[in-house]
Amino acid sequence: MKKLSLEMLRLTSDEVLGRSQMKKITGGNDNVYYCQCFDSAGNTYGGEAYLVSHIDVAMAMTMDRCPAGGGCVMQ
């Protein structure tokens, strides 16, 4: 499994969980999908990582923001 880099999100300190909060997180069936848009020439841009239950959800979110299409892979 690849590591997920959160640096690009530019989170504020209020949006980041502390160690004690992270210890309380359990379970879940979500997966991380990395999705990119395609331009009309087939180049990729606008990579986003989504934590969702199914690839169809990630694809729907990607297609909403990618006018020429896009694709997702599970990380």
Q: What is residue 23's predicted lDDT score, i.e. its pLDDT? A: 64
One-letter amino acid for residue 54 of the chain: H
11-53, pLDDT tens digit by residue?
777 777 777 777 666 556 788 899 999 998 989 998 988 888 8
Residue at 14 is within a domain: no
Residue at 41 is within a domain: yes
Rounded CA gap, 69 and 40, in Å?
Answer: 9
Residue at 36 is within a domain: yes
Residue at 39 is within a domain: yes
Residue at 49 is within a domain: yes
| Of residues 65 and 22, more confidently modeled | 65
Residue at 9 is within a domain: no
Residue at 50 is within a domain: yes
Cβ atoms 47, 36 nearer than 8 A: yes
The count of domains in the chain is: 1
Q: Tally DSSP H helices, then E strands, for the chain.
A: 2, 3
Cβ atoms 63, 70 nearer than 8 A: yes
- Domain span at residue 44 reads 28-75
Residue at 67 is within a domain: yes
Whether 5 shows a pLDDT value over 90: the answer reads: no
- The CA angle 30-16-32, to the nearest 5 degrees, is 20
